[in-house]
Chain A
Amino acid sequence: MKQVNYIKMEFPARSANEGFARAAAAAFAVQLDPTMEQLGDIKTAVSEAVTNAIVHAYPDTAGPVQLRLRILEGDVLELTVRDRGRGIPDVKKAMEPMYTTGGEERSGMGFTIMGSFMDGLKVRSVVGRGTTVTMKKRIRTKAGT
């Protein structure tokens, strides 16, 4: 699908940046005229993916996290969160509901919610090299077109 617009940003894996990342994503997505529910879905998905990078990819450091948003033809928003952290040894297992290696402060529901709130979710990961999470959402306008 042809790209119509994009933004790309990078920030250190600090939890203080979670709110900034989802607010930036929502501000970019507004040009597609989404409903409040769709904006909430986008913010939630970004928050989950960025939090995963902060908690799991860089447990002891504040390495770089990239957030890229693209608007594709057909009113599709694509979100990509990429890290260069330690990677996920078993992606299938990590995507199971309630599975977490993050201790009791994590619920293990992050990927479940990303998959539920977005129309597409792909996770690519290589141990020692990092993880890329790509999500897509078709924005139907408030008028229902």
Chain B
Amino acid sequence: MKVLSSYEDGRLTLYFRGELDHHEAAAALRKISRTVDDYLPRECVVDMEGLSFMDSSGIALLLKICRLMAEVGGRAWVENARNQPLKVLDASGIDRMIQVV
């Protein structure tokens, strides 16, 4: 899995690419934590268009991103999730904690 990022006007966009599982989640979290620390964004968009697979490790990662953003006084949401990751998001009920657009 790759995590790419861009930043503009207080908005950090994280682009997830590939497959997100337990094997990939720890490295992704380390990179995201560093990026949030660097920019201290007000908003964080998790763009999942390039994510072909995600299991519940992705749920834990998204909850962590929510906590990171809360710590810096910002908010996060998910965009462009494909069918399989979207089904995992729906089954987990995570939309109560993070908006899925």
Which residues in A have some Cβ–Cβ distance to B below 8 Å?
A: 15-16, 18-19, 22, 36-37, 40-41, 43-44, 47-48, 51, 54-55, 97, 104-107, 109-110, 112-113, 116-117
Contacts and interface: CB of A to CB of B under 8 A. Distances in A.
B55 A51 contact: yes
B63 to A, nearest CB: 7
Contacts of B57: 51, 105-107
Nearest to A103: B60
Contacts of B101: none
17 contacts: A36-B83, A37-B83, A40-B53, A40-B84, A43-B53, A44-B55, A47-B53, A51-B55, A55-B22, A104-B60, A105-B26, A105-B29, A105-B57, A107-B57, A109-B91, A109-B92, A117-B91
A52 B72 CA distance: 32
A62 B56 CA distance: 21
Interface residues of B, number: 22
Interface of B: 19, 21-23, 25-26, 29, 53, 55-57, 59-60, 63-64, 83-84, 87-88, 91-93
A48 B55 contact: yes
A107 B84 contact: no
A19 B21 contact: yes
